[in-house]
Amino acid sequence: MVEVMAARGSPQAAMTQFVLNTLESDMNYRHVYHAGNFADVLKHAVLALVIEHLKLKPAPFRVVDTHAGIGLYDLTSEEAQKTAEWKDGIGRVLAAKRSPAVETALAPYLAIVDEEHDGGAELARYPGSPLIARRLLREGDTLVVNEAHPADHETLQDLFHRDKQVKVLGLDGWTALKSLLPPKERRGLVLVDPPFEEPGEFQRMADGLDAAARRFATGTVMMWYPIKDQRAVDRFRRSVTALAIPKLYSIEVTIRAVRTTTELSGSGLLILNPPFTLPGKLDALLPFLAKTLARGQGAGFRADWLTGEHASPA
């Protein structure tokens, strides 16, 4: 466990620094290069819908974000400008004509994106999952955000400085997933959004889902995965289906045909216990996203139950 808040000069602080350095050397991924891209759009639009659904009941809930990033991205920064991925993600969505059904499905997400629009011709900032979740909380709901990259963890701490509804941790995300469940509210959402930089991440995700479902069987768990290597995705879907956890739903959007094993051609969300209203909201949203975000032949989408509801054999 990596606790970042050890007293300066103490043995724990030395150990913490050691672990952080070790982690940092393995942690090259920085989300600022990808903020607002096509994968963020799907993830964040669905995240907002799930949280809005939790708000339909008065009982408080908790959102846990195990791989949180920094919460707010400066799209004018050198890093974001270098890739400008947001232009083909949220940039396209904002510029697209949207039907009333799409508008309704995107409303909670776009309202938060709009808050970062400072009136300039282009978006200046883009909210990450922690800020989107925070903006949607009611008084009494809570948010736990966890980020292991030392610099990003510090930025996240600054963002939520003195916010009593938010707790910022610096644990390994897979450890956090287990140690933070179940939340005391017994209601809520867990977002698991690792960078998939290390081999074995799909297996860790399947194991994490198994552990989360055991600890928090009634909660909603949403896990993001990349679609680069179709065979790896198919294996993953089979392995989580085999866990025989009730009510597992999958949503995928591809922006081009999956031709190689290295190019990010799409992304998926695996959702345990999705809101029952979600599939209906996606009817209009997914075709819109596949069309708007397409970057070549073979763009598309699918949404299906892996287990429960109307599951068909994997």
134 contributes a contact to ligand SAM by CB under 6 A: no
Distance CA 249, CA 257 (A): 22
Shortest Å, Cβ 129 to ligand SAM: 3
Position of tokens 């922690």?
130
Shortest Å, Cβ 66 to ligand SAM: 6
# binding residues, ligand SAM (CB under 6 A): 21
173 contributes a contact to ligand SAM by CB under 6 A: yes
Kindly identify the residues of this chain, within the stretch 9-38, that bind ligand SAM according to CB under 6 A. 27, 29, 31
Which of 16, 37, 129, 241 touches ligand SAM (CB under 6 A)?
129
Mark residues 68-107: x for contact with ligand SAM by CB under 6 A, - for none: xx--------------------------------------
Distance CA 253, CA 141 (A): 31
Distance CA 215, CA 199 (A): 26
Question: Is the distance from CB of 137 to CB of 63 less than 8 angstroms?
Answer: yes
Q: Each residue of 252-274: b (16+ CB within 10 Å) or e?
A: bbbbbebeeeeebbbbbbbbbbb
Q: Which is nearer to ligand SAM, 134 or 241 (CB)?
A: 134
Q: Which of 193, 229, 234, 283 is catalytic?
A: 193
Distance CA 28, CA 298 (A): 31
H-type alpha helices, the chain: 11-26, 38-54, 78-83, 90-95, 100-115, 129-136, 150-159, 173-179, 201-215, 230-241, 278-293
116 contributes a contact to ligand SAM by CB under 6 A: no
- Can 193 be counted among the known catalytic residues? yes
Active site residues: 193
Binding residues vs ligand SAM (CB under 6 A): 27, 29, 31, 40, 43, 65, 67-69, 128-129, 146-149, 152, 172-173, 193-195
